[in-house]
């Protein structure tokens, strides 16, 4: 078994998988399995490419330099210029290079379930209570303070409904784009029980707000 043949076939096989997963991600059809596969095969491709370059170094050197004159071949100059043009265009975020990365997702990307109430399973803010965030090819909705307060009140009310008769909020704030903090006091439904203070941290996972941590303490 020849090592050159093995390395060349390995590069071809790994590149095929890498190309398929890359296209799926580009066109917005990626999933955890697709992205995980793409990442691992990217590592395998780099390893296989290194072995390929080592095994074919003499040929690559022959493609790059002229044996008679010792000068650099035109092919190497053209390949280097093309690579530098793409690198410079991407780094400078030029119009053509800027639109290309999100073009596939914009045309064929998966549409998130939504509506006035927001994505399925996620408490939606009141009408008109969404602001605009940064625009990177597509607009991203950012919850306003009123929407944050609405989500926090809904989630806390659901969690404390069985144990609290009255709920008073002191603080509802966003700790990040997917983390909300809610604090306040509540009166227990049990007769003779004193008020208690509650603190809950809500996180957004898979487009659904969930209680990640909670704490109560008597006043």
Token pair 């045309």 is found at 107
Span 47-76, pLDDT tens digits = 988 988 888 888 888 888 888 888 888 999
List beta partners, residue 143.
130
CA distances 126 to 43, 89, 113, 121, 151, Å, are: 46, 42, 17, 15, 10
CATH 3.30.1370 fits 143-218, yes or no: no
- Delimit the domains of the chain by residue range: 3-108, 143-218
Alpha helices in 56-93 (DSSP H): 57-64, 74-92
DSSP β-bridge partners for residue 158 = none
pLDDT band at 129 (very low <50, low <70, confident <90, very high): very low
Which of 161, 166, 202, 158 shows the shortest CA–CA distance to 181? 202
167 beta partners: 186
């Amino acid at each position: 078994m020849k090592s050159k043949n093995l390395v060349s076939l390995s590069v071809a096989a790994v590149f095929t998988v890498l190309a398929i997963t890359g296209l799926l991600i580009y066109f917005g059809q990626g999933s955890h399995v697709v992205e995980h596969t793409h990442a691992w095969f990217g590592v395998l491709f780099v390893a296989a490419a290194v072995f390929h370059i080592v095994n074919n170094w003499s040929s690559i050197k022959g493609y790059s330099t002229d044996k008679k004159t010792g000068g650099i071949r035109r092919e190497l100059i053209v390949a280097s210029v093309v690579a530098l043009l793409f690198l410079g265009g991407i780094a400078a975020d030029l119009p053509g290079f800027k639109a290309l990365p999100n073009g596939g997702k914009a045309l064929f990307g998966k549409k998130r379930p939504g509506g006035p109430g927001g994505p399925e399973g996620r408490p939606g803010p009141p009408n008109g209570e969404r602001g605009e965030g940064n625009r990177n090819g597509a607009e991203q909705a950012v919850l306003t303070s009123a929407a944050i307060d609405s989500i926090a009140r809904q989630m806390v009310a659901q969690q404390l409904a069985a144990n609290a008769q009255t709920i008073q909020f002191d603080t509802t704030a966003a700790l990040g784009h997917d983390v909300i903090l809610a604090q306040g006091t509540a009166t227990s439904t049990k007769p003779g029980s004193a008020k208690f203070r509650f603190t809950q941290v809500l996180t957004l996972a898979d487009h659904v707000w969930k209680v990640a941590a909670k704490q109560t303490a008597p006043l």
